Amino acid sequence: MSRAAAAPPPMPPLGKPIAVPVQSSVWDRFTNWAAENKALVYTIAGVAVVVSSAGVVYYLNADAKPKPAAQPKLSKKEKRKRKDAERQAESSPKSPAPTGEQAKAPTVEPADELPEINETTVATFTDEQRKEYALKLKNAGNKAYGSKEYPQAIDLYTKAILCKPDSIFYSNRAACYNALSAWEKVVEDTTAAINLDPTYIKALNRRANAYEHLSQFSESLLDYTASCIIDEFRTESSTNAVERLLKKVAEQKAEEIIKSKDPKKLPSPTFVSNYIQSFRSKPRPKGLEDDVDLSESTGKGQLQIGLQAMEKKTHEGYEEAANAFEKALEYGDLDEHEALVYNLRGTFRNLRGSHEQALQDMDKSIELDPAYTQSYVKRASMHLEMGDRDSAAADLEQALKQNDGDPDVYYHRAQLHFIHGEFQDAAKDYQKSIDLDSSFIFSHIQLGVTQYKMGSVASSMATFRRCVKNFEKVPDVYNYYGELLLDQNQYDEAIQKFDKAMEMEKQTKPMAMNVLPLINKALTIFQQKADFSEAEKLCEKALIIDPECDIAVATMAQLFLQQGKITEALKYFERAAELARTPGEIVNALSYAEATRTQIQVQEKYPQLAAKLQGMGAGAAGMGAGAFGAGR
Ligand SMILES: *[C@@H]1O[C@H](CO)[C@@H](O)[C@H](O)[C@H]1NC(C)=O
pLDDT tens track for 480-502 = 999 999 999 999 999 999 999 99
Q: What is the pLDDT of residue 83?
A: 46
> Is residue 45 scored above 60 in pLDDT?
no
Residue 504 confidence (pLDDT) above 50: yes
Sign of CA dihedral 45, 219, 188, 183: negative
Contacts 24+ apart (CB under 8 A), 392-398: 392/416
Q: CB under 8 Å to 369, separation ≥6 — which residues? A: 338, 339, 375
- Whether 297 maps to a domain, the answer reads no
- For residue 264, count other CB atoms closer than 10 A to its CB: 13
Please enumerate in sequence order all residues whose Cβ is within 8 A of that of 124, keeping only pairs 6 or more positions apart, or say none: none
User: Residue 357 Cα, ligand 1 centroid: separation in angstroms?
Assistant: 72
Question: Which of 233, 202, 195 minimizes the C-alpha distance to 606?
Answer: 195
Residue 223: CATH number of its domain: 1.25.40.10
Q: Ligand 1 pocket check: which of 117, 119, 120 to mutate, most ligand atoms within 8 Å of Cβ? A: 120
Q: Is 203 a member of any domain?
A: yes
439 C-alpha vs ligand 1 centroid, how far in Å? 96
120 lines ligand 1 (CB under 6 A): yes
Q: What is the pLDDT of residue 558?
A: 85
Q: What is the tens place of the pLDDT at every residue in 172-216? A: 999 999 999 999 999 999 999 999 998 899 999 999 999 999 999
Mean pLDDT estimate for the chain: 80
Per-residue pLDDT tens digits for 551-582: 899 889 988 888 878 889 899 998 988 888 77
For residue 539, give the amino acid letter: C
- Identify the residue whose C-alpha is closest to ligand 1 atom 11: 120
Angle separating helix axes 19-45 and 407-419, nearest 10 degrees: 20
Cβ proximity of 460 and 483 under 8 Å = no
Average of pLDDT values for 366-389?
A: 93
Query: Whose CA is closest to atom 8 on ligand 1?
Result: 120
Q: What is the pLDDT of residue 433?
A: 97
- Alpha-carbon distance values, 397 to 19, 377, 556 (Å): 20, 10, 41
112-132 mean pLDDT: 88
**Bigger pLDDT: 115 or 375?**
375
**Nearest CA owner, ligand 1 atom 9:** 120
Residue whose CA is closest, atom 5 of ligand 1?
116
3 state DSSP class of 372: coil
* Ligand 1 atom at minimal distance to the Cα of residue 118: 1
What's the CA-to-centroid distance between 153 and ligand 1, angstroms?
Answer: 21
- Helices 457-470 + 441-453 axis angle, to 10: 160
| Ligand 1 center to 163 CA (angstroms) | 15
Indicate whether residue 124 lines ligand 1 (CB < 6 A).
Answer: no
Cα(566)–Cα(68) distance, integer angstroms: 27
Cα of 123 from ligand 1 centre, angstroms: 11
CA distances 398 to 366, 392, 401, 413, 585, Å, are 11, 10, 5, 12, 30
Ligand 1 pocket: which of 121, 159, 162, 163 to mutate (most atoms <8 Å of CB)? 121
Report how far apart, in Å, the C-alpha atoms of 129 and of each of 107, 115, 125 are: 18, 11, 6
- Asked whether residue 483 is assigned to any structural domain, the reply reads no
Q: Which phi-psi region, left, alpha or beta, contains residue 215 (left: φ > 0; alpha: ψ -120 to 50)?
A: left
For residue 411, what pLDDT is reported?
Answer: 95
Q: Which protein residue's CA is at the shortest distance from atom 4 of ligand 1?
A: 116
Q: Give residue 119 CA to ligand 1 midpoint distance, Å.
A: 8
Tens-digit pLDDT profile for residues 578-598: 888 777 778 888 888 888 888
Q: Rounded to an integer, what distance in angstroms lies between the CA atom of residue 92 and that of residue 618?
A: 39
Are 199 and 176 a contacting pair, CB within 8 Å? Answer: no
How far apart CA 10 and CA 535 sit, in angstroms, is: 20
Chain-centre distance for alpha carbon 609: 27
What three-state secondary structure class fits 504?
A: helix
Rounded to the nearest angstrom, the distance between the alpha carbon of 127 and the centre of ligand 1 is 20
CA of residue 141 to ligand 1 center, whole Å = 21
Domain hosting 210: range is: 89-231
Residue 77, in any domain of the structure:
no
pLDDT at 110 over 80: no
Lowest mean pLDDT among 31-35, 99-103, 295-299: 99-103
Contacts of 237 (CB under 8 A, 6+ apart): none
Axis crossing angle, helix 236-260 with helix 201-213, rounded to the nearest 10: 40
Q: Is 424 in the pocket of ligand 1 (CB under 6 A)?
A: no
Q: What is the mean pLDDT of residues 244-271?
A: 83
The response to whether residue 216 sits with its C-beta less than 6 Å from ligand 1 reads: no
Nearest in space to 492 (alpha carbons), one of 456, 544, 528, 537: 528
Ligand 1 centroid to residue 122 C-alpha, Å: 10
Q: Is the CB of 116 within 6 Å of ligand 1?
A: yes
pLDDT at 146 (0 to 100)? 96
Q: If you measure from the C-alpha of residue 178 to the centroid of ligand 1, how many angstroms do you get, rounded to a whole number?
A: 30
Cβ neighbours around 494 below 10 Å, total:
26
Q: Report the pLDDT value the prediction gives residue 257, as an integer from 0 to 100.
A: 81
- Structure confidence at residue 278 (pLDDT): 87
> In sequence order, what are the residues at sequence separation of 6 or more whose Cβ sits closer than 8 angstroms to the Cβ of residue 32?
7, 8, 9
**How far does the centroid of ligand 1 lie from the alpha carbon of residue 170, in Å?**
23
**Residue pair 382/355 in contact by the 8 Å Cβ criterion:** yes
Check residue 613 and give its pLDDT: 58
CA of 145 to the centre of ligand 1 (A): 26
pLDDT at 18 over 50: no
Out of 83-92, 128-137, 143-152, 418-427, least confident range: 83-92
Does residue 118's CB lie within 6 angstroms of at least one atom of ligand 1?
Answer: yes
Contact status, residue 58 vs residue 37, Cβ threshold 8 Å = no
pLDDT reported for residue 111: 53
- What pLDDT band is residue 112 in, cutting at 50, 70 and 90? low
- 50: pLDDT strictly greater than 90: no
- Ligand 1 closest atom vs CA 119: 13
Residue 628 above 80 pLDDT?
no
Listed in sequence order, the DSSP H helices in 439-490 are 441-453, 457-470, 475-487
- The 3 state secondary structure assigned to 170-228 is HHHHHHHHHHCCCHHHHHHHHHHHHHHCCCCHHHHHHHHHHHHHCCCHHHHHHHHHHHH
| 20 vs 224: CA distance, rounded Å | 34
pLDDT above 90 for 33: no
Contact, 321 vs 309, CB < 8 A?
Answer: yes
- Report the separation in Å between the CA atom of 391 and the middle of ligand 1, taken as the mean of its atom positions: 76
Picking from 218, 222, 225, 219, the residue whose alpha carbon sits closest to that of residue 240 is 225
Radius of gyration in angstroms for the set of CA atoms belonging to the chain, rounded to a whole number: 31
**Distance from the CA of 121 to the center of ligand 1, in angstroms?**
7
Instruction: Determine, yes or no, domain membership for 379.
Output: no
Residue nearest to ligand 1 atom 14, measured at CA:
118
pTM of this prediction? Answer: 0.68
Angle CA 202–205–206, to nearest 5:
85
Higher pLDDT, 626 or 136: 136
Asked if residue 76 belongs to a domain, the reply is no
Least confident of 209-223, 468-482, 509-523: 509-523
Per-residue buried b or exposed e for 21-53, using 16+ beta carbons within 10 Å of the residue's own CB: bbbbbbbbbbbbbbbbbbebbbebbbbbbbbbb
Residue 315 dihedral angles phi and psi, to the nearest 5°: -60, -45
Mean pLDDT, residues 61-69: 32
Residue 287 lies in a domain: no
Is there an atom of ligand 1 within 6 Å of 119 CB?
A: yes
Average pLDDT for 134-140: 95
How many structural domains is the chain composed of?
1
Cβ–Cβ under 8 Å, residues 421 and 412: no
Average pLDDT over residues 27-48: 36
Provide the percentage of residues in the chain whose pLDDT is more than 70. Answer: 78
Contact 289, 299 (CB under 8 A): no
Highest mean pLDDT out of 103-117, 262-276, 377-391? 377-391
Q: Could you give the CA distance from residue 374 to residue 281 in angstroms, rounded to a whole number?
A: 10
Neighbours of 16 (CB within 10 A): 23
DSSP reduced 3-state for 422: coil
In a domain, 122, yes or no: yes
pLDDT at 177: 98
Kindly give the distance from the C-alpha atom of residue 175 to the centroid of ligand 1, in angstroms, as a whole number.
28
The Å distance, Cα 291 to ligand 1 centre, comes to 100
